[in-house]
Amino acid sequence: MEHNQQGFSYTYSASQRDEVEAIRRKYLPPQENKLETLRVLDRRPGQKATAVSLAVGIVCILVMGSGMSMCLAGPEVLFMPGIAVGLAGMAGAALAYPVYRTVLRRERERIAPEILRLADELAGQ
Protein backbone atom coordinates (compact mmCIF):
# COMPACT_ATOMS: atom_id res chain seq x y z
CA MET A 1 0.00 0.00 0.00
CA GLU A 2 1.33 3.34 -0.94
CA HIS A 3 1.38 6.17 1.59
CA ASN A 4 0.46 9.52 0.19
CA GLN A 5 2.35 12.19 2.06
CA GLN A 6 1.08 15.57 1.23
CA GLY A 7 2.61 18.61 2.78
CA PHE A 8 2.82 22.29 2.30
CA SER A 9 6.07 24.12 1.94
CA TYR A 10 6.59 27.79 1.40
CA THR A 11 9.78 29.64 0.69
CA TYR A 12 10.24 33.33 1.26
CA SER A 13 11.58 35.64 -1.39
CA ALA A 14 14.92 37.35 -0.76
CA SER A 15 13.34 40.65 0.29
CA GLN A 16 10.92 38.91 2.65
CA ARG A 17 13.76 36.84 4.10
CA ASP A 18 15.77 40.03 4.74
CA GLU A 19 12.79 41.63 6.45
CA VAL A 20 12.22 38.55 8.61
CA GLU A 21 15.91 38.52 9.56
CA ALA A 22 15.84 42.25 10.42
CA ILE A 23 12.85 41.71 12.72
CA ARG A 24 14.56 38.69 14.27
CA ARG A 25 17.73 40.71 15.02
CA LYS A 26 15.69 43.26 16.98
CA TYR A 27 14.80 40.61 19.54
CA LEU A 28 18.18 38.95 19.87
CA PRO A 29 20.37 39.94 22.83
CA PRO A 30 22.81 42.72 21.89
CA GLN A 31 26.19 41.55 20.73
CA GLU A 32 29.35 43.43 21.54
CA ASN A 33 30.75 44.95 18.39
CA LYS A 34 34.12 46.47 19.18
CA LEU A 35 34.33 48.47 15.96
CA GLU A 36 30.94 50.09 16.61
CA THR A 37 31.98 50.80 20.21
CA LEU A 38 35.15 52.45 18.89
CA ARG A 39 33.11 54.61 16.50
CA VAL A 40 30.76 55.72 19.27
CA LEU A 41 33.65 56.57 21.58
CA ASP A 42 35.33 58.53 18.78
CA ARG A 43 32.20 60.65 18.19
CA ARG A 44 31.48 61.38 21.85
CA PRO A 45 34.14 64.09 22.52
CA GLY A 46 33.07 66.12 19.49
CA GLN A 47 29.42 65.91 20.44
CA LYS A 48 30.05 67.09 23.99
CA ALA A 49 32.32 69.92 22.82
CA THR A 50 29.72 71.04 20.29
CA ALA A 51 26.94 71.04 22.88
CA VAL A 52 28.95 73.04 25.42
CA SER A 53 30.16 75.62 22.90
CA LEU A 54 26.66 76.03 21.48
CA ALA A 55 25.27 76.62 24.95
CA VAL A 56 27.97 79.21 25.70
CA GLY A 57 27.43 80.92 22.35
CA ILE A 58 23.64 81.03 22.62
CA VAL A 59 23.66 82.40 26.17
CA CYS A 60 26.20 85.07 25.24
CA ILE A 61 24.28 86.10 22.13
CA LEU A 62 21.16 86.48 24.29
CA VAL A 63 23.16 88.65 26.71
CA MET A 64 24.34 90.76 23.77
CA GLY A 65 20.75 91.09 22.55
CA SER A 66 19.57 92.20 25.95
CA GLY A 67 22.30 94.86 25.94
CA MET A 68 21.06 96.08 22.56
CA SER A 69 17.52 96.16 23.90
CA MET A 70 18.67 98.19 26.88
CA CYS A 71 20.26 100.72 24.52
CA LEU A 72 17.10 101.05 22.48
CA ALA A 73 14.60 100.99 25.35
CA GLY A 74 15.97 103.76 27.51
CA PRO A 75 18.50 105.91 25.70
CA GLU A 76 18.77 108.35 28.61
CA VAL A 77 19.31 105.93 31.48
CA LEU A 78 20.17 102.48 30.08
CA PHE A 79 22.37 103.40 27.14
CA MET A 80 25.77 103.06 28.83
CA PRO A 81 24.87 99.92 30.83
CA GLY A 82 23.38 98.50 27.62
CA ILE A 83 26.68 99.03 25.79
CA ALA A 84 28.56 97.31 28.64
CA VAL A 85 26.16 94.33 28.63
CA GLY A 86 26.31 94.10 24.83
CA LEU A 87 30.10 94.13 24.81
CA ALA A 88 30.18 91.46 27.53
CA GLY A 89 27.88 89.32 25.39
CA MET A 90 30.08 89.80 22.34
CA ALA A 91 33.19 88.86 24.30
CA GLY A 92 31.48 85.74 25.61
CA ALA A 93 30.31 84.77 22.13
CA ALA A 94 33.85 85.16 20.86
CA LEU A 95 34.91 82.61 23.49
CA ALA A 96 32.60 79.89 22.10
CA TYR A 97 35.23 78.46 19.74
CA PRO A 98 38.06 78.43 22.31
CA VAL A 99 35.64 76.69 24.70
CA TYR A 100 34.95 74.12 21.96
CA ARG A 101 38.64 73.42 21.45
CA THR A 102 39.31 73.17 25.19
CA VAL A 103 36.43 70.78 25.86
CA LEU A 104 37.36 68.69 22.81
CA ARG A 105 40.99 68.40 23.93
CA ARG A 106 40.05 67.46 27.50
CA GLU A 107 37.47 64.89 26.41
CA ARG A 108 39.91 63.32 23.95
CA GLU A 109 42.54 63.09 26.68
CA ARG A 110 40.02 61.52 29.04
CA ILE A 111 38.80 58.92 26.57
CA ALA A 112 42.14 58.20 24.84
CA PRO A 113 43.14 55.15 26.92
CA GLU A 114 39.89 53.33 26.15
CA ILE A 115 40.05 54.18 22.43
CA LEU A 116 43.69 53.09 22.19
CA ARG A 117 42.91 49.82 23.99
CA LEU A 118 40.02 49.04 21.64
CA ALA A 119 42.04 50.07 18.57
CA ASP A 120 44.91 47.79 19.63
CA GLU A 121 42.49 44.89 20.14
CA LEU A 122 40.98 45.41 16.70
CA ALA A 123 44.35 45.82 15.01
CA GLY A 124 45.62 42.64 16.66
CA GLN A 125 42.73 40.53 15.42
State how far the Cα of 72 lies from the Cα of 50, in Å rounded to an integer: 33
Instruction: Tell whether 84 is covered by a domain.
Output: yes
Assess if residue 99 is contained within a domain. Answer: yes
Answer yes or no: is 105 within a domain. Answer: yes
Range of the domain at 56: 34-124
Q: How confident is the model at residue 67 (pLDDT cuts 50, 70, 90)?
A: very high
Q: What share of the chain is helix, strand, coil (3-state, %, to 5)?
A: 80, 0, 20
Question: Does residue 94 lie in a domain region?
Answer: yes
Assigned domain for 59 exists: yes
pLDDT at residue number 55? 96
Q: How many alpha carbons lie under 13 Å from residue 18 in its C-beta half-sphere?
A: 3
Is residue 67 situated within a structural domain? yes
Range 6-21 average pLDDT: 75
Tell me which of 2-6, 46-50, 68-72, 99-103 is least confident.
Answer: 2-6
Q: How many domains does the chain have?
A: 1
pLDDT band of 9, cuts 50, 70, 90? low
Question: In 3D, which of 110, 97, 109 has the Cα closest to residue 52?
Answer: 97
User: Which tens digit of pLDDT belongs to each residue from 75-106?
Assistant: 788 888 999 999 999 999 999 999 999 999 99
- Examine residue 14 and state whether it is found in any structural domain, yes or no: no
Q: What pLDDT shows up at residue 29?
A: 75
Q: Is residue 97 part of a domain?
A: yes
Query: What predicted TM-score, i.e. pTM, was given to this entire model?
Result: 0.68
